[in-house]
Chain A
Amino acid sequence: MVGADKGGVGKTTVSRALLDYFATNNILARAFDTEYPRGTLKRFHPQTTEVVDITQTPDQMRILDTLATSQVRVTVLDTRAGALMSSLEALRDVGFFDAMKAGEVNFVLFHILGPSLASLDEIAETAPFVTDANYFLVKNYINDSTFFDWDPATLQSYFGKVKSAGDVTISKLNAMAYEQVDLAGTPWSTFVANKTAGGEPAQHSFTLRGYVRTWQSKNAEEFNRIRLLDFVNGRI
């Protein structure tokens, strides 16, 4: 699950980075975009993404009832702005966390932090849901945020409230490169491979592709560092 209670902190960017990372590692993944009905993630990954309303029972069933049966081993949930807490509550109410405790599913939460201290309060609010989960705080620098000048002691006090908390850094991507991928409406890897969404050869700038490729490598290093593939393979 990728979430934040604030908008504009880059949830969909991180979800896209995750889907690309899984694809690169030959791991089948599907995604649910809870930004109902718009679904930004679906624009970039139309084949693998469904737009759902996580507060509605039929959609909850679509997501959760297929977790164990689907051939696809990874499900990425991109929660819409402001819906992280309600999504976690919905998951709790349908017994998802019990299933997790029983070892039926492995749950990882990527909590994208915003540029204000309110984000630290979010961490405290989220903590009760994820004490047994794999909880990562994501510092997303992609959109030029320079907000991580927090007092380390304060940050540590929040980190102390959650088990297994680690942090992931999404580094800055050149603004023009970001914008061009946005215009292309393709996964990052498709842009790097100089292809259109339809798989045809594209005319993307090599320089911009290079920036995206380097940025992807840094993301992959981060995901490798937190041993994300081990979560997928049930080794954690």
Chain B
Amino acid sequence: MKNPTLAFIICSLGGRAGKTMTARLLADYFLLSDRTFVGFDTDTHEPSFAMRFPQEVVASDVNTIQGQMALIDPLLVADGVPKIVDLWHRSLEGFFALLDQTEFIAEARKLDVEPIFLFVADGTARSVEAAARLVERYPDVQFVLVVNDGAVPGVERREEFNRYPSGRSFKIAALDPLLLQKIEEPGFSLSRFLLVPPTNMSLVVRAGIREWLWRIFSQFKSFELRITLADSEHLG
């Protein structure tokens, strides 16, 4: 059986939860394994994801019909190239209304595209409720909770989020401010960093970033393997 084309939709209830970082990590994960991706940034005011990957990511305004077409239509292309949507929190409601109105999920399934919601928790009670509502509203869609301790310190310790099994959650640890500053430099590519470690960088900084990245990428790898296995025909 052919593996489905994955469509990651990264969302959160509010801003500053770490969506763009999640999108960036996922993008670099694919680039690192010599694959490409197609990305979408719905933040028309500050499209940080699109600016970071100008070749792969397009900014699309879901409030316009042209923007909706530029986002929704390519998401349904089952070409094996993963799609990553960095969904601006202000376009959250409009985007999900659009999914419902166009019957996107059913069409995606028909075309062998697997939508995956990555909900980035921001640590508030409303965020917990929103995550539960999303699971309830789309029971057949893969749901992954992203807990970004770097963006929202302490979020990892919230009890409500612990009920999501490891297969349904990604944990992004907080990064030392010095290392964070380094990776946030414009033009700094996480995948290139791992492929060709810069020799002019402090050994400590290099080791710290590498360690942090591998912990995250190994979760992505496990998740991808699980999907592949789930879609495989009988193994034995």
* A residues lining the B interface (CB < 8 Å): 174-177, 205-211, 213-214
Report yes or no: B69 in contact with A208, Cβ–Cβ below 8 A: yes
A213 to B107, CA, bound (A): 12
Write the nearest CB–CB distance from A218 to chain B, whole angstroms: 11
The binding surface of chain A is classed by DSSP as helix
Chain A residues, CB < 8 A from B73: 205-207
The DSSP consensus for interface residues of chain B is: helix
- Which of under 10, 10 to 19, 20 to 34, or 35 or more describes the interface residues of B? 10 to 19
Q: Would you call B159 an interface residue if the criterion is a C-beta within 8 Å of the partner chain's C-beta atoms?
A: no
In angstroms, how far is the closest chain A Cβ from the Cβ of B233? 29
Counting chain B CB atoms within 10 Å of each CB, the highest count among A177, A207, A210 belongs to A207
Instruction: Give 12 A-B pairs besides A210-B98, A210-B102 with Cβ atoms closer than 8 angstroms.
Output: A175-B65, A176-B65, A206-B73, A206-B104, A207-B68, A207-B72, A210-B72, A210-B103, A211-B101, A213-B102, A213-B103, A214-B102
| B131 close to chain A: CB less than 8 A | no
* Contact yes or no, A210 B65, CB < 8 A: no
Query: Given the complex, which residues of A lie within 8 Å of B190, measured CB to CB?
Result: none
Instruction: Report the Cα distance A207→B66, complex, angstroms.
Output: 10
The minimal Cβ–Cβ distance linking A205 to chain B, given in whole angstroms, is 5
- State which of B66, B76, B102, B107 has its C-beta within 8 Å of the C-beta of A211: B102
A-B interface, 5 closest residue pairs, ranked by CB to CB distance from nearest: A210-B102, A207-B72, A207-B69, A176-B65, A207-B68
Chain A residues near B102: list those with CB within 8 A.
206-207, 209-211, 213-214
Contact with A along B67-89 (1 / 0, CB 8 A): 01100110010000000000000
Find chain A residues with CB under 8 A from B65 CB.
Answer: 174-177, 207-208
21 contacts across the A-B interface (CB closer than 8 A): A175-B65, A176-B66, A205-B73, A206-B73, A206-B76, A206-B104, A206-B107, A207-B65, A207-B68, A207-B69, A207-B72, A207-B98, A207-B102, A208-B65, A209-B102, A210-B101, A210-B102, A210-B107, A211-B101, A211-B102, A213-B102
Residues of A within 8 A of B98 (CB): 207, 210
The smallest beta-carbon distance between A206 and chain B, in angstroms, is 5
CA distance A207 to B76 in the complex (A): 10
- The distance in angstroms between the C-alpha atoms of A174 and B103, with both chains bound, is 16
B residues within 8 A CB of A209? 102
Residue of A at shortest CB range from B68?
Answer: A207
Are B72 and A206 in touch, CB under 8 angstroms? yes
Chain A: minimal CB distance from B236 (Å): 38
Closest residue of chain A to B76, judged by CB?
Answer: A206
Q: Which chain B residues border A176 with CB–CB below 8 Å?
A: 65-66
Name which residue of chain A comes closest to B103, CB basis.
A210
Are the CB atoms of B101 and A214 closer together than 8 Å?
A: yes
**What residues of B have a CB within 8 angstroms of the CB of A175 in the complex?**
65
The CA of A176 and the CA of B107, in the complex, are separated in Å by 21
| Cα(A177)–Cα(B65), bound, Å | 9
**CB of A37 to closest CB in B, whole Å:** 35
Note all chain B residues with C-beta closer than 8 A to A207: 65, 68-69, 72-73, 98, 102
Tell me the complex Cα distance, A176–B66, Å. Answer: 9
- Residue of chain B at shortest CB distance from A176: B65
Complex CA–CA separation, A176 to B73 (angstroms): 15
Assembly CA distance A211 to B104 (angstroms): 11
Kindly identify, within residues 96 to 121 of chain B, every residue whose CB is under 8 Å from any CB belonging to chain A. 98, 101-104, 107
Q: Give bound CA distance, A150 to B34, whole Å.
A: 63
Q: Are A205's CB and B101's CB within 8 A?
A: no
